[in-house]
Homo-oligomer: A and B are copies of this chain.
Amino acid sequence: MSKSITAKDLNVYYGDFLAVEGVNIEIAARSVTAFIGPSGCGKTTFLRSLNRMHEVLPGARVEGQLLLDDDDIYAPGVDPVSVRAMVGMVFQRPNPFPTMSIRENVLAGYKLNGARMSRSDADGIVESALRGANLWNEVKDRLDRPGSGLSGGQQQRLCIARTVAVKPEVILMDEPCSALDPISTLAIEDLIAELQQEYTIVIVTHNMQQAARVSQNTAFFNIAGSGKPGRMIEYAETSTIFNNPSNQQTERYVSGKFG
């Protein structure tokens, strides 16, 4: 499991609006990469182009090459569904399925695809995914209650469990901790460290301490002005980015002097 990601001259558009321009990046397998940058610079947009979720929006499209190991996921004939099965995603706003119980939510990746499994297999998957997301103890007594009845932080962890349960190769996380208290945040960070053993992980965060704590590499995105496309300014080891960035914009941003 786990694959590397290589973007070559990737442009991401909303209709005619070029939101992210010319990204070249190589993300190693089994690593954690953080995306940082000011609001609106295109982190989410770029992240969504990594599993072809971007094109779900009307008019949205992508130019350039994006390799998963050696396969271009934007090559003609590639089925976006199979890409998404390999590249899981956790959204910024927790979005459990309101029609499903906690248990069903964890199994959604299987159940929605019509997979059949024995009760005990399913139980195993549910427990290990929820344990992985540090949620098991809180919900083990109410697995059949609706997922929407949980607190915000719990919902977010449920969504992580749901993504992990399908065992993708790559996991994308868009500000997964922004709604969480320090304890849950810590739990998720631990989870990320653990997942890194098996998965390639990309995480968007506004919290630089967090980026510093969890990631090996960090990419800094910036935007020249409103209406201009976002660009990847610098990509390097996390310690380099925070301590010794080569680009001045990066330096100003990580030192909080921006703007």
Chain A interface residues (CB < 8 Å from chain B): 37-40, 92-93, 138, 151-154, 175, 178-186, 206, 208, 226, 253, 256, 258-259
Contacts and interface: CB of A to CB of B under 8 A. Distances in A.
Given A138-B226, A179-B178, A181-B206, A39 B151 contact: yes
Contacts of A259: 183
Given A138-B226, A178-B178, A226-B138, A183 B258 contact: yes
A186 B253 CA distance: 12
Q: Decide if the interface of chain A is mainly helix, strand, loop or mixed.
A: loop
B37 A181 contact: yes
The 4 closest A-B pairs by CB, nearest first: A39-B153, A39-B181, A40-B151, A181-B206
Given A186-B256, A256-B186, A38 B226 contact: no
Given A138-B226, A178-B178, A226-B138, A38 B206 contact: no
Give how many copies assemble into the complex: 2
B256 A39 contact: no
Given A153-B39, A154-B39, A226-B138, A175 B183 contact: no
Nearest to A134: B259
Given A138-B226, A178-B178, A183 B151 contact: no
A215 to B, nearest CB: 16
A182 B178 CA distance: 12
B37 A182 contact: no
A152 B206 CA distance: 12
A153 B184 CA distance: 22
A133 to B, nearest CB: 14
Contacts of A256: 182, 186
Given A39-B153, A39-B180, 14 more contacts: A37-B181, A38-B181, A38-B182, A39-B183, A40-B153, A40-B154, A92-B152, A178-B178, A178-B179, A182-B206, A182-B208, A182-B256, A182-B258, A186-B256
